């Protein structure tokens, strides 16, 4: 026991620190991407398919990641149980106990390595399914040897592969296969010391003639049982495929990675090889070197797990910012954007810009925030922004049709994940579709942790409401079509209403969320004051200055003499570039005028554009001028 | 003498009784595959134990609530066939105890307890038989604060006309471009037995997804013939004739796409199809969410025996779709809209002007001997009403043309303005049907503010099966309504479910439902084998018109096909 506890405590501490430390937002996101409903129909539909019970239980436990402490504790508890049950099943000595942790580390890594792929993996409950599956497998291997009754073994040999397969998928088969390996190993190697009390139920009946009959020798009997169990384990899925009126997936319960994700298979290969090894070669002994080797392997496994866990700063940064945005903590979003030390991805840039818009600081600070187009650390670059924050961006910018569309498309593709239901509910409410909203409310209320009441108040928008200008001051408000769309206002977030003051149209975004938002706002005409400001800002971002002055002038009265900094900068620049506009009458801060003159002089003194970009960044990197002239090639997605 | 049947509740009825009911009313070749037998057994065992533990009785005294009880689904006043499965419901009233009594004038009575009814199928059918030609009454009692309240009695007329015992449909999420899990299902209407005919994920791997749609039988399956499409991976149209299955690729170099919306000739082994260049665009703000637009469409006739495709309609500026035959097989009805393109960008043009697409109903006479069509004739001028017609279907007696009518377009499942209309037509003459004109067309009283769209006639012409989004505007549910000999549609009822909450909870839609008089013969395994097989390619056989029309080929729609939108029917 004393030898086991240090391994146990070390593993628990390591796993909890990893899961609840850097990977905490990953756990929360995983829960939102895990469908689990407390309904009879969900249970019946899940359990009626091969591996159904395992998927059901695993989904239940994985949904607990919504409370990271609870979910992580459950996950670690299952992994610890695997180590102990593995030792028990394969009768491993304390000296080799460190090896029992290879499987828990592999299963931990199986989950922590996924990163972005957690969005696209359609496998149910990727963390808990293999963990619970292997726990089941090892439990039955252990029970086989612990209960020395012939009828139990016959029943086991017949029932575990068949019913076990239906309830636990491939793990039911693995239970039979590993048991078969154990028996064959014992029969072949004659490793009987660990099984002293086992198997002598044929001998008494045979009596003194026993040794002359085939399979009466104890080693032969092990071989026989091994062949029987192994054969049944292999045959059952094949038979089921033939007998059932429709084909079944014999690999149900195994994550099937694509070739592009082949490195993800390593923990699985390890997880399948280890028990086979333990089954055939008994891990016995009490020698010190065995303990030392065991400990070294343990430490190496921990190191590998930590190293290969997906702790990409931008990935976790997006998740942090997304969760803050969903909680309406826009200041927190901005803090995260400012403190990010890596070049941001477009998803982070988009979230920061949304937060600036929500807090009414877009015109003053947008170009001072980190910009960039860092690659997502995963294949298929174009899909991650849409998958992670597409509906969120569309919803908050008032493109409710597209928010609903992508939430529904993803629900179709990846299942009834709470993450999608939240936006379907929000849009239904915003559209005034009460009956539809009730359907989604009921669906969320059938989850464990995502109750619809959490989305019934729109407190997250209050900051914007307080900071945004009164649209009544704008001449555009007279043109607003919002009044015509007043039926949408029922039960909706008031701060979003001004963003709905546009004429519906048919459109398509080809999955390019940021590009679509930039273009649709930059090319929009009229609308409420927030919409005009978005049009102005997005035309500045896209460097399309054609309609700058009409939009600027429309917004000018509402600024009450305090034009946001970037618009002052843009006004000076556009006047300089296009001419025909006297900016002296505009209430532009003299310091900004002076700074603009400094920029013009400095750029004239320096050489080419590249050297100007480098030299002027410290002094002017936070201005629209710098963005306009020197920031190029941002790949919007 | 009062015959009283007393059963209990949440899941009443015995295992044996239920089994009898299934055998008596449905002969599914393969029983339900969604619910495992083990879970069913446990479920019924618990129900039986619960049944034995207490028996509900109608309260001796009850206060009159003076109003209707709130129940879901609400099928009150719906006209019922004598062979429909139990119409279970949930009583959505606060209470401590619940008792529901079903009764007839003849004295048959059935009492169930519980907030959610689960009526024994055998007992229910006995009750319905006793109420044929009369009325089935439902009395709901709810105990609140120790006192029983009796709500207004519900009355459902029961007519002698049976409903076809089976329906087929596709279960699909109300998706747009993406699709994942799709199943073609067969459901017995006399019980709750349901089976999956085909599940697309069985043969879908990775990015090679597979879409299945449009299982349509010939004459409600009376001939044993039906068809369905498989798109993308292993694509082709599956033709079922008894237990024989043939896979054909209907796309030819001379036609727009593979066959899309099918219409079996009632007696010959011929099928008319639309071929469509279809794209999807998305509303930015409208609760209707999506517009499915045909950028071009034609009609073809397919002869399965010869493997030959011929054009029926092939014009650039007229978009034809949703063909359907008269029951005598001498007239083909379909919808068509005329559109003069503005500019060369058909995508932008129709995205701007989609609301100007108004489809009328036309017809062409068909000679079964020469297998040629006559000239096109207008049957219903929807455009003159500022409307657009879709999915015409002729009643089996040939007296009525049933269609959906909305403000524009043809994909009415996404149009909240879509309602079902019926128009009397002559049984055996195209001319007289046209003389009847569109003036006699009327909106049916079964419509709702939400979309009513895809519909089908039962084999006896007395029942209409239709899709409706009346519940929430987004998820399609199946309703059935009685259509009497006088041409009047009665109040519809929702497809019965064992668990009344089933449709409330399910985030899937029923799609393209059709009546069937008998179950589909091939097994799921046979269908899978056929889908895996190589498709036979159809050949092109020119025009099927007796007098080919001049503008047919020179401005072929292929040349103006939309460039930006992926045609969802492009590949077979």
- Chain B interface includes A404 (CB < 8 A): yes
Determine whether the interchain pair B472/A401 forms a contact, defined as Cβ–Cβ distance below 8 Å.
no
Determine whether the interchain pair B283/A506 forms a contact, defined as Cβ–Cβ distance below 8 Å.
yes
Q: Which residues pair with B138 in a beta bridge?
A: B102, B154
Cα separation, A175 vs A242, in Å, equals 22
Determine whether the interchain pair A41/B525 forms a contact, defined as Cβ–Cβ distance below 8 Å.
no
CA distance A487 to chain B (A): 11
Smallest Cβ–Cβ distance between A404 and the set B289, B523, B528 belongs to B289
- Chain B interface includes A401 (CB < 8 A): yes
Determine whether the interchain pair B285/A416 forms a contact, defined as Cβ–Cβ distance below 8 Å.
no
What would the mean pLDDT of B126-130 be, rounded to a whole number? 96
> B318-344 burial by CB neighbour count: b if 16+ within 10 A, else e?
bbbbbbbbbbeebbbbbbbbebeeeee
Structure token pair of residue A297:
């392997």
- Chain B interface includes A632 (CB < 8 A): no
The DSSP bridge pattern shows strands B147-150 and B154-158 to be unpaired
* CA-CA-CA-CA dihedral for B370, B371, B373, B374, to nearest 10: 20
Count of other CB atoms within 10 angstroms of residue A13: 11
The DSSP bridge pattern shows strands B308-313 and B539-543 to be parallel
- Chain segment B417-468, per-residue pLDDT in tens: 999 999 998 754 444 444 445 567 899 999 999 999 999 999 999 999 999 9
Has residue A471 got a pLDDT over 60? no
Determine whether the interchain pair B351/A507 forms a contact, defined as Cβ–Cβ distance below 8 Å.
yes
The DSSP bridge pattern shows strands B271-283 and B290-303 to be antiparallel
Architecture of domain B166-552: 6 Propeller (2.120)
**SS3 letters for A567-593?**
HHHHHHHHHHHHCCCCHHHCCCCHHHH
Cα separation, B310 vs B299, in Å, equals 9
Rg (C-alpha) for chain A, rounded Å, is: 32
Structure token pair of residue A227:
């062949």
Determine whether the interchain pair B285/A405 forms a contact, defined as Cβ–Cβ distance below 8 Å.
no
- Chain B interface includes A383 (CB < 8 A): no
Q: Which pLDDT does position B350 carry in this prediction?
A: 87
- Chain B interface includes A240 (CB < 8 A): no
What would the mean pLDDT of A383-390 be, rounded to a whole number? 96
Cα–Cα distance list, B111 to A209, A424, B210 (Å): 70, 40, 47
Where do runs of H (alpha helix) occur along A93-148? Answer: 102-112, 117-120, 128-146
Size of interface A-B (CB pairs under 8 A): 130
What mean pLDDT is reported for chain B? 86
The DSSP bridge pattern shows strands B360-367 and B372-380 to be antiparallel
* CA-CA-CA-CA dihedral for B286, B292, B295, B301, to nearest 10: -160
Looking at the whole model, is its pTM more than 0.90?
Answer: no
Question: Between residues 437 and 476 of chain A, which touch chain B (CB distance below 8 Å)?
Answer: 438-439, 442-443, 446
Q: DSSP labels for B466-509?
A: EEE-TTTSSS-EEEEEEB-TTS-B---EEPP-SSTTHHHH---E
Q: Which pLDDT does position B549 carry in this prediction?
A: 76
Region class of B66: left (phi > 0), else alpha (psi between -120 and 50), else beta: left
Residue spans of the domains in chain B: they are 3-158, 166-552
Has residue B209 got a pLDDT over 90? no
* Mutation for testing the B interface, residue in A412, A440, A513 having most B CBs under 10 Å: A412
Determine whether the interchain pair A401/B351 forms a contact, defined as Cβ–Cβ distance below 8 Å.
no
Q: Which residue of B has its CA nearest to A501?
A: B285
Cα separation, A629 vs A611, in Å, equals 12
Count of other CB atoms within 10 angstroms of residue A279: 22
- Chain B interface includes A504 (CB < 8 A): yes
Q: DSSP labels for A466-521?
A: HHSPPGGGSHHHHH--GGGGGGGGTTS-GGGGGGG-S---EE--TT-HHHHHHHHH
Q: Which residue of A has its CA nearest to B39?
A: A44
Q: Which pLDDT does position A160 carry in this prediction?
A: 83
Q: Which pLDDT does position A166 carry in this prediction?
A: 87
Helix (H) or strand (E) run with residue A601 in it: helix A590-605
Q: Which residue of B has its CA nearest to A432?
A: B287
- Chain segment B470-527, per-residue pLDDT in tens: 999 999 999 999 999 999 999 999 999 999 999 889 999 999 999 999 999 999 989 9
- Chain B interface includes A311 (CB < 8 A): no
The DSSP bridge pattern shows strands B147-150 and B63-64 to be parallel
Cα separation, A251 vs A232, in Å, equals 16
* Residues of B with Cβ-Cβ distance to A121 under 8 angstroms: none
Lowest mean pLDDT among A264-278, B183-197, B413-427: A264-278
In percent, how much of chain A has pLDDT > 90? Answer: 56
Q: Which pLDDT does position A295 carry in this prediction?
A: 94
Helix (H, G, I), strand (E, B) or coil at A114: coil
* Residues of B with Cβ-Cβ distance to A41 under 8 angstroms: 499, 501-502, 505-506
* Residues of A with Cβ-Cβ distance to B471 under 8 angstroms: 435, 439
Cα separation, B72 vs A504, in Å, equals 34
Lowest mean pLDDT among A1-10, A400-409, B326-335, B456-465: A1-10
Determine whether the interchain pair B351/A505 forms a contact, defined as Cβ–Cβ distance below 8 Å.
yes
CA distance B288 to chain A (A): 9
- Of the pLDDT bands very low, low, confident and very high (cuts 50, 70, 90), residue B52 is low
- Chain segment A340-357, per-residue pLDDT in tens: 999 999 999 999 999 999
């Amino acid at each position: 026991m004393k030898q086991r506890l240090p391994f146990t405590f070390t593993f628990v501490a390591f796993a909890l620190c990893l899961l609840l430390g850097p990977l905490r937002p990953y756990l929360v996101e995983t829960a939102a991407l895990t469908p689990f409903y407390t309904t009879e129909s969900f249970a019946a539909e899940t359990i009626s398919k091969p591996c159904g019970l395992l998927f059901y239980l695993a989904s239940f436990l994985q949904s607990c990641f919504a409370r990271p402490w609870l979910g992580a504790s459950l996950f670690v508890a299952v992994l610890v149980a695997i180590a102990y049950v593995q030792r028990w099943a394969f009768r491993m000595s304390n000296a080799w106990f460190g090896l029992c942790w290879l499987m828990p580390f592999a299963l931990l890594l199986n989950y922590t390595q996924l990163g972005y792929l957690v969005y696209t993996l359609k496998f149910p409950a990727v963390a808990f399914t293999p963990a619970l599956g292997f726990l089941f497998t090892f439990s039955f291997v252990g029970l086989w040897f612990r209960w020395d009754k012939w009828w139990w073994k016959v029943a086991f040999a017949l029932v575990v592969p068949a019913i076990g397969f239906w309830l636990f998928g491939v793990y039911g088969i693995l239970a039979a296969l590993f048991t078969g390996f154990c028996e064959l190993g014992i029969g072949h190697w004659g490793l009987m010391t660990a099984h002293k009390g086992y198997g002598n139920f044929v001998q008494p009946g045979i009596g003194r003639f026993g040794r002359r009959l085939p399979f009466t020798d104890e080693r032969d009997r092990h071989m026989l049982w091994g062949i029987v169990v192994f054969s049944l384990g292999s045959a059952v899925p094949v038979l089921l495929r033939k007998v059932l009126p429709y084909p079944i997936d014999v690999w149900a319960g195994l994550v099937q990675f694509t070739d592009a994700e082949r490195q993800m298979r390593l923990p699985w290969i390890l997880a399948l090889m280890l028990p086979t090894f333990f089954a055939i070669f008994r891990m016995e002994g009490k020698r010190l070197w065995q303990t030392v080797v065991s400990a070294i392997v343990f430490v190496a496994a921990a190191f590998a797990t930590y190293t290969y866990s997906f702790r990409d700063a931008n990935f976790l940064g997006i998740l942090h910012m997304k969760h803050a945005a969903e909680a309406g903590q826009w200041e927190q979003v901005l803090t995260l954007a400012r403190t990010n030390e890596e070049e941001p991805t477009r998803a982070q840039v988009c979230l920061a810009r949304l937060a600036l818009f929500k807090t009414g600081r877009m015109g003053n600070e947008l170009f001072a925030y980190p910009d960039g187009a860092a690659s997502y650390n995963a294949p298929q670059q174009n899909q991650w922004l849409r998958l992670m924050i597409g509906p969120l961006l569309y919803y908050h910018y008032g493109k409710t049709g597209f928010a609903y569309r992508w939430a529904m498309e993803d629900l179709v593709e990846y299942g009834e994940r709470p993450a999608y239901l939240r936006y379907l509910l929000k849009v239904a409410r915003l559209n005034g579709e009460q009956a539809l909203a009730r359907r989604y409310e009921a669906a969320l209320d059938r989850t464990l942790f995502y109750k619809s009441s959490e989305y019934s108040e729109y407190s997250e928008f209050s900051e914007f409401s307080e900071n945004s200008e009164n649209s009544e001051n704008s001449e555009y408000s007279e043109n607003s079509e919002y009044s015509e769309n007043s039926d949408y206002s029922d039960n909706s977030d008031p701060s979003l209403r001004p963003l709905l003051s546009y004429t519906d149209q048919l459109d398509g975004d080809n999955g390019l969320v940021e590009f679509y938002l930039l273009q649709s706002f930059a090319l929009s005409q009229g609308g409420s004051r927030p919409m005009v400001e978005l049009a102005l800002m997005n035309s500045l971002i896209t460097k399309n200055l054609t309609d700058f002055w009409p939009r600027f002038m429309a917004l000018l009265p509402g600024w009450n003499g305090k034009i946001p900094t970037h618009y002052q900068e843009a006004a000076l620049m556009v006047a300089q570039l296009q001419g025909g506009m006297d900016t002296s009458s505009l209430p532009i801060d003299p310091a900004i005028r002076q700074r603009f003159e400094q920029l013009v002089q400095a750029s004239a003194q320096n050489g080419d554009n590249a050297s100007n970009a480098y030299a002027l960044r410290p002094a002017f990197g936070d201005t629209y001028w710098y963005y306009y002239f020197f920031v190029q090639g941002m790949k919007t997605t | 003498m009062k015959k009283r049947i007393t059963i209990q509740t949440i899941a009443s009825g015995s295992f044996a009784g239920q089994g009898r009911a299934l055998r008596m009313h449905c002969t599914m070749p393969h029983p339900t595959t969604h619910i495992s037998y083990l879970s069913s057994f446990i479920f019924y065992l618990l129900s039986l134990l619960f049944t034995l533990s207490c028996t509900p009785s109608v309260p001796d005294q009850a206060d009159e609530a003076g109003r209707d009880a709130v129940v879901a689904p609400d099928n009150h006043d719906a006209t019922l066939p004598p062979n429909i499965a139990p119409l279970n419901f949930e009583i959505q009233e606060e209470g401590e105890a619940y008792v529901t009594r079903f009764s007839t004038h003849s004295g048959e009575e059935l009492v169930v307890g519980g907030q959610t009814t689960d009526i024994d199928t055998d007992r229910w059918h006995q009750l319905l038989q006793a109420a044929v030609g009369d009325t089935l009454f439902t009395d709901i009692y709810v105990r609140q604060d120790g006192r029983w309240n009796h709500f207004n009695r519900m009355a459902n007329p029961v007519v002698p006309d049976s409903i076809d015992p089976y329906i087929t449909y596709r279960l699909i999420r109300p998706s747009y471009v993406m699709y994942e899990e799709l199943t073609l299902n067969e459901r017995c209407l006399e019980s709750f037995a349901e089976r999956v005919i085909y599940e697309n994920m069985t043969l879908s791997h990775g990015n090679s997804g597979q879409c299945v749609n449009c299982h349509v039988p010939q004459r409600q399956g009376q001939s044993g013939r039906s068809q369905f499409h498989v798109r993308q991976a292993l694509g082709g149209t599956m033709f079922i004739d008894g237990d024989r299955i043939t896979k054909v690729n209907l796309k030819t170099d001379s036609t727009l796409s593979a066959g899309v919306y099918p219409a079996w000739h009632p007696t010959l082994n011929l099928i008319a199809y639309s071929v469509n260049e279809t794209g999807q665009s998305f509303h930015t703000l409208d609760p209707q969410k999506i517009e499915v637009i045909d950028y071009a469409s034609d009609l073809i006739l397919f002869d399965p025996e010869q493997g030959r495709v011929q054009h029926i309609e092939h014009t650039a500026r007229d978009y034809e779709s949703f063909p359907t035959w008269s029951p005598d097989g001498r007239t083909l009805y379909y919808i068509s809209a005329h559109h003069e393109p503005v500019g060369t960008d058909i995508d932008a043009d129709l995205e701007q002007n989609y609301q100007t697409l108004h489809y009328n109903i036309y017809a062409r006479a068909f000679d079964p001997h020469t297998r040629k069509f006559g000239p096109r004739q207008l049957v219903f001028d929807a455009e003159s009403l500022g409307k657009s017609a879709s999915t015409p279907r002729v009643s089996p007696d040939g007296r009525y043309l049933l269609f959906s009518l909305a403000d524009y377009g043809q994909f009415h499942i996404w149009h909240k303005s879509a309602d079902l209309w019926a128009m009397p037509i002559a049984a055996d003459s195209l001319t007289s049907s046209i003389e009847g004109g569109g003036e006699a067309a009327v909106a049916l009283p079964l419509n709702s503010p939400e979309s009513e769209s895809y519909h089908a006639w039962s084999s006896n012409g007395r029942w209409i099966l239709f899709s409706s989004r009346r519940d929430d505007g987004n998820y399609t549910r199946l309703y059935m309504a009685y259509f009497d000999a006088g041409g009047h549609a009665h109040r519809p009822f929702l497809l019965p479910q064992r668990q009344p909450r089933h449709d409330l909870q399910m985030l899937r839609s029923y799609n393209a439902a059709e009546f069937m008089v008998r179950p589909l013969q091939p097994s799921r395994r046979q269908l899978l084998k056929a889908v895996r097989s190589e498709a036979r390619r159809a050949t092109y056989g020119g025009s099927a018109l007796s007098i080919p029309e001049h503008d047919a080929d020179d401005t072929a729609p292929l040349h103006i096909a939309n460039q930006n939108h992926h045609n969802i029917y492009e590949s077979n």
